């Protein structure tokens, strides 16, 4: 674009599709959709330059409700798909999204390695501490004493997964927590996460009002984090290990160089292969 041309501007509506969300009334994921589209409008990224990838679950329906390129993958596999897109099309803004069951259970290994690789993309996890789509089972982030699931009527009795600490230990350089009930704050965090060069992880507390109705009270529990996100990792780890789970804001920011393989060699070899195949 030359200096005289006008930068196109977009509104959040430009990023929404015509598909009507089928989430339960009051589900936090509606606000996450609003926050994401607001962030993309703030950044004025043309919709055709965005790829949004998800796995499976209520929150993984997100790509269908947006007007960007979407890929509704399989359970837990959003991150490897998003990684492949970003390393082969580095000019795109790549976002992976999903829930705590999808991302931290079957997708847990991909999560750690995405943090470690530091490919320049954003991962948004709508965390409601439950498998909502399959009707209310304990997920990796469920507290051990939650007794409402028929599968674990006496609670799971096991420690929950702590995604932020694990992200830090695995090498993530942008770690944030937001709340769907604060859509402007969530939009701001997503904006910063997309701007951050390298892998950025945003945990969005997003109540499942159907299977965890008590999560409506999260609105009274969240509070802005009073922290220096540029702390050294050891101090940040202590902070994240001991926080109450309701600190919202950017909680850690580092400056590792993003991973981006040189593409020319691989493109040449694909071209050579194609030539060989045609001949
Ligand atoms: Fe949202 Fe829970 Fe309903 Fe799924 S089951 S749409 S997470 S409220
Ligand atoms: Mg969930």
Residue 63 pLDDT: 98
The pairing of beta strand 174-179 with beta strand 200-205: parallel
Domain span at 221:
28-277
Is 19 inside any structural domain? no
C-alpha distances out from residue 118 to 75, 82, 107, 121, 186, Å: 22, 12, 17, 8, 22
Best residue among 211, 214, 215 to mutate for probing ligand 1, ranked by most atoms within 8 Å of CB: 211
Q: Which of 29-33, 150-154, 197-201, 259-263 has the lowest mean pLDDT?
A: 259-263
pLDDT computed for residue 5 by the predictor:
45
Ligand nearest to the CA of 126: 2
| Ligand 1 center–CA 29 separation, angstroms | 8
Mean pLDDT of 195-215: 98
Q: How far is the CA of 115 from the centre of ligand 2 (A)?
A: 20
Ligand 1 interacting residues, C-beta cut-off 6 A? 23-24, 27, 29, 58, 128, 132-133, 208-211
> Strand, coil or helix: what is 125?
strand
Token output for 120: 């320049």
Looking at the chain, the whole-number percentage of residues with pLDDT higher than 70 is 92
Question: Does a structural domain hold residue 71?
Answer: yes
The answer to the question of residue 98 being in a domain is yes
Q: Pick from 59, 53, 111: which is nearest to 84 by CA?
A: 53
Give per-residue pLDDT as tens, 224-236. 999 999 999 999 9
Indicate the pTM of the whole model.
Answer: 0.93
| Interior/surface letters 194-231, b for 16+ CB within 10 angstroms, e for the rest | bebebbbbbbbbbbbbbbbeebeebeeebeebebebeb
189 pLDDT higher than 80: yes
CB < 8 Å & 24+ apart, contacts of 109-114: 110/76, 110/77, 110/78, 110/79, 110/80, 111/79, 111/163, 111/166, 111/167, 111/170, 112/166, 112/170, 113/79, 113/170, 114/79, 114/82, 114/83, 114/199
Total residue length of the chain: 279
Q: Is the pLDDT of residue 1 over 50?
A: no
Q: Is residue 228 part of a domain?
A: yes
Residue 4: pLDDT band by 50, 70, 90 thresholds?
very low
Mean pLDDT of 207-213: 98
Our count of domains for the chain comes to 1
Distance 196 CA to ligand 1 centre (A): 30
- State pLDDT tens for residues 54-76: 999 999 999 999 999 999 999 99
Domain annotation covers residue 78: yes
**Nearest CA-CA partner of 161 in 133, 125, 119:** 125
132 lies in a domain?
A: yes
161: left (phi over 0), alpha (psi -120 to 50) or beta: beta
For residue 16, being part of any structural domain is answered with: no
pLDDT number for residue 42: 98
At residue 224, the pLDDT reads: 98
Kindly report, residue by residue over 125-135, the tens digit of the pLDDT. 999 999 999 99
Q: Which atom of ligand 1 is nearest to the CA of 59?
A: 7
Q: Give the chain's largest Cα–Cα span.
A: 67
Check whether 121 has a pLDDT greater than 80.
yes
Residue 18 is assigned to a structural domain of this protein: no
State the CATH number of the domain containing residue 163: 3.40.50.970
| In the block, residue with structure tokens 């965390």 | 127
Please check the confidence at residue 278 and state whether its pLDDT lies above 60: no
In this structure, the residue with its CA closest to atom 1 of ligand 1 is 27
pLDDT over threshold 70, residue 267:
no
Cα(249)–Cα(263) distance, integer angstroms: 35
Q: What is the predicted pLDDT for the residue at 220?
A: 98
CA–centroid distance, residue 131 to ligand 2 (Å): 4
């Amino acid at each position: 674009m030359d200096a005289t041309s006008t930068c196109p501007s977009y509104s959040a509506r430009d990023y929404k599709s015509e598909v009507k969300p089928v989430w339960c009334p009051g589900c936090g994921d509606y606000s996450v959709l609003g926050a994401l589209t607001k962030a993309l409008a703030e950044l004025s990224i043309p919709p055709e330059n965005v790829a949004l990838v998800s796995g499976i679950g209520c929150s993984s329906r997100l790509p269908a409700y947006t007007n960007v390129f979407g890929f509704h993958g399989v359970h837990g596999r959003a991150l490897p798909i998003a990684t492949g897109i970003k390393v082969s099309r580095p000019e795109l803004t790549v976002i992976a999204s999903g829930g705590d069951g999808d991302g931290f259970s079957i997708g847990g290994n991909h999560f750690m390695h995405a943090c470690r690789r530091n490919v320049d993309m954003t991962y948004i996890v709508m965390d409601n501490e439950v498998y909502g789509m399959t009707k209310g089972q304990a997920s990796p982030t469920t507290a051990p004493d939650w007794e409402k699931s028929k599968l674990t009527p006496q609670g799971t009795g096991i420690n929950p997964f702590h995604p932020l600490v694990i992200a830090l230990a695995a090498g993530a350089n942008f770690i944030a927590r937001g709340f769907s009930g604060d859509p402007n704050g969530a939009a701001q965090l997503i904006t910063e996460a997309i701007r951050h060069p390298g892998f950025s992880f945003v945990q969005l507390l997003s109540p499942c009002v159907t299977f965890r109705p008590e999560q409506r009270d999260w609105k009274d529990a969240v509070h802005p984090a009073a922290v220096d996100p540029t702390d050294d990792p050891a101090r940040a780890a202590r902070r994240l290990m001991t926080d109450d789970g309701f600190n919202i804001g950017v909680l850690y920011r580092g400056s590792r160089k993003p991973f981006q393989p040189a593409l020319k060699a691989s493109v040449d070899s694909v071209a050579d292969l194609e030539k060989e195949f045609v001949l």
